[in-house]
Amino acid sequence: MAWIVADSSALILLAKCSLLEIVCDLFDVIVPKAVSIEVASEDLVKNYPDAALISELTSKGAIKVQSLGSDRPSAPLSLHKGEEEALLLAIKLDGALLATDDGKAIKAARFFNVPFIVTPKIVVELFRLQKISFKKARKSIEKLGKIGRYSPEIIADALISLMEKEDGKANNHKDI
């Protein structure tokens, strides 16, 4: 299974879209210890259902917590501990994909040539790979706009992309 290293922003939005479990089923979702503390500490679990879900998936081993170890590389950039460790872990696990919804973390990922993915793209991709229905994908993208605070232009583009993929599938079926 492919590796996805997620930071707090991506875990939260995937949980909000009810897609975290399916992503954990399909991929090796890995988080550094700092991210686990940021989103699933005891206090947060009591107050936020998403935190409780992340904690539960971590307990089950569906989300793996991994430390950077002693050969931790240094990052010449300023990020919060969790975002920084997620990036460094993605660098360390060669071929891993960094899931983040933070512009500054993406900027850092670009600097280090680390492949990254944002939650709307995960949604569109899950639909392309036929892991979720069109209805579910559309609902998730709409949630990313309303609750996830994604900009209207990204949401519009994601919906267009989704519809294009839906049309592509329909046309393929017609051809058959």
Partner 1 sequence: MAKPTTIRISEDLLNEINEMVQELKLDRSAYLREVLRKGFSLDKQDRLLLKYVRKELSQMQVCQELNWPPWEFLTQLKSRNLHLNVELEDWLDAAELPL
Burial code (b: 16+ CB inside 10 Å, e: under 16) for 149-160 equals: ebeeeebeebbe
How far apart CA 61 and CA 58 sit, in angstroms, is 5
What is the nearest approach in angstroms of partner 1 to the Cβ of residue 83?
A: 5
CA distances from 119 to 140, 145, 172 (A): 10, 11, 27
134 near partner 1, rule: CB under 8 A: no
If the CB atoms of residues 149 and 173 are measured against partner 1, the closer one turns out to be 149
40 near partner 1, rule: CB under 8 A: no
83 near partner 1, rule: CB under 8 A: yes
CB atoms closer than 10 angstroms to residue 46? 9
What is the nearest approach in angstroms of partner 1 to the Cβ of residue 61?
A: 21
Binding site for partner 1 (CB under 8 A): 2, 7-9, 12, 26-27, 38-39, 44, 47-48, 50-51, 78-83, 97, 101-107, 110, 115-118, 120-122, 125-126, 129, 147-154, 157-158
